[in-house]
Structure 1
Amino acid sequence: HELNLEEKSHKRAGTLSGGMQRRLNIAMALVHDPQIIVLDEPEAGLDPQSRVSVREYIQSLSRKKTVILTTHNMDEADRMADRVAIIDHGQLLVMDTTQALKAQTADGHIPEISLTNGLTDAETANRALIGFADKVSYEENSHSLHIHALNSIAHLPAFLERLINAGFAPGEVKIRQTTLEDVFIQLTGRRLRE
């Protein structure tokens, strides 16, 4: 009932939309009333309304049963999980609450710096920042270089000074909260992949 499948109960499963099939898969996993439910990418392929409906249903289930979600979508994990385990190449790297994991990464905050004038060469920026930041990634476009540093904002003044001394001109500095994707990148040294 909570997955809104009643209206399609007379249809063959193969004729249902992808979102309806996903909801049917979840319902089938629950038929025998298990105490532990394992769901793989439960929000994949769903339209926004279905995604919200499925998320709310899974959260209501988690109050009564153990729900284990597997996902590559860090936003999904952050919204739905009480605890997160990050596994890379079959090895458990860390397991904790999302809040604790984010607080341990860059003190919970990430400085992002856009360089809009002066040098905009990623290789030069890399040389200037060697040994300074734990991890630095850049995205280069035609007019600016964006630096995303996974280190404490306490080091921000020294970080900016090093950039200026190397010939870079910071245009905009933002401080944002750490995400689970930031945690993943810090632990594995690379972005999410399929």
Structure 2
Amino acid sequence: MAASLALDPHTSTVALRNYYYLRAGVAAAWVVAAFTAGVSNPVIGAVLLVLYPAWDALANLIDARGAGGYRANRSQVVNAAVSTLAALAMLGSLAVGINAAIGVFGLWAVLAGLLQLITGVRRWRTYGAQWAMILSGGQSVLAGGFFAFMATGPALLSIATVAGYAGFGAFYFLVSALWLTFRKPRNAA
């Protein structure tokens, strides 16, 4: 059934719009949790840090399935695998310390950003409204490199180090959702 949804441009655009709203809402809730409970309680901060790429893995699978299936959306399937491995690596790196986990988060952000760029470029012709996702992917690559670099320094990092990154992600997903909500359909005259 998912493959047939991808054949109907209106249905698949509505599904993508709803998916973007979901991603924006979850990211915004994560940011609030990170800046409140995560900053004041390092254990909660560590759990939130691991949950972010774990959620990204699940979300990429949901998106790929709803947009024509896993075979048609290989960049999202690869992104899901990368995000799953990153969540596990962050969990393990927490034994070393928060800076190690932030370093892993940074490397994950680079890879996930590249894969998001690929997905956005691939979807451009079909859906439009992908400029925000492409911009988000590029920013993820840059921010991830910065996080990985910061993690090697002497400063003790925290969940607050990466919470702004998630906030920009929420913004980009919201912009894309609104764009798909209010734009004129591509096949409209």
Whose helix fraction is larger, Structure 1's or Structure 2's?
Answer: 2
* Larger Rg, first or second structure (1 or 2): 1
TM-score (ref. length: structure 1) = 0.23
TM-score (ref. length: structure 2) = 0.23
Q: Bigger relative contact order, structure 1 or 2, given CA contacts below 8 A and separation 6+?
A: 2
Whose strand fraction is larger, Structure 1's or Structure 2's?
Answer: 1
